[in-house]
Amino acid sequence: MTSPSSELARQPQPTPKTVTENIRSVLDMQAALEHRRTLVDRIADLIGGFSGSMNFVFIHLVWFTAWFLINTLPLGVKHFDPYPFILLAMVVSVEGVLLSTFVLMKQNRMQYRADIREQLDLQVNLLAEKEVTKTLQLLRAICEKLEISPDVDQDPELQEMASTTSVDLLAQRIQTDLEPKS
């Protein structure tokens, strides 16, 4: 027998409005990126996606097996590419060049999307930093107005958090600290 609290915990909870709005925003951004793809981009994505699938592997296994059998066994069919299968090697080489190009095109588009998401994430983080700093400053002002004297002056971490963060200095510091040491 289960307790009423565990029954309640298993029931699906309604999704908060802000979460639904955020999901919609992300889906809209994804749809806009999909809509902007050119025909060549769509074809490259299709080929790049298919070349990374098990169907691609199975088709090639069947193709190579058939090629080897037709060109080695006496099946009554003329051997058009006898061992060492030079024609097959050339076809596979050309296929490799084309497939690698399509895969690189797909990866470039995926990186572009990741860069956009990273920029959005950075902007949201910068906005959140400003909002939190302003909130701390407002709380300090409220405490002063109400003559509430928490040990704010005794807490250097809180003082630091309530001051404005210089993003430029932070970026320079990260870049300096991450530079490879010679």
In a structure prediction context, what are the per-residue pLDDT tens digits for the chain, which is 182 residues long? 556 666 656 777 888 888 888 889 889 988 998 899 899 989 988 998 899 899 999 999 999 999 999 999 998 889 999 999 999 999 999 999 999 999 999 999 999 989 998 998 988 898 898 899 899 889 888 888 888 876 666 778 877 877 887 878 877 888 888 888 76
What's the domain range around 61?
37-177
Cα(101)–Cα(44) distance, integer angstroms:
9
Tokens 């200095």 locate to 169
Q: Residue 92: inside a domain, yes or no? A: yes
Q: Residue 44: inside a domain, yes or no? A: yes
Q: Residue 165: inside a domain, yes or no? A: yes
Tokens 């250097």 locate to 156
Q: Residue 26: inside a domain, yes or no? A: no
Whole-structure pTM over 0.75, yes or no? Answer: no
* CA 177 to mean position of chain CA atoms: 26
How many helices (H) and strands (E) in the chain? Answer: 7, 0
Cα distances (angstroms) measured from residue 149 to each of 9, 132, 137, 140: 41, 21, 14, 9
pLDDT at 8: 57
Q: Residue 133: inside a domain, yes or no? A: yes
Cα(56)–Cα(99) distance, integer angstroms:
12
Q: Residue 32: inside a domain, yes or no? A: no
Count of structural domains, the chain? 1
For residue 84, whether the previous peptide bond is cis, meaning omega lies within 30 degrees of 0, is: yes
106: its two tokens: 């797909």
Cα(132)–Cα(125) distance, integer angstroms:
10
Count Cβ atoms below 10 Å from residue 48 Cβ, excluding itself. Answer: 20
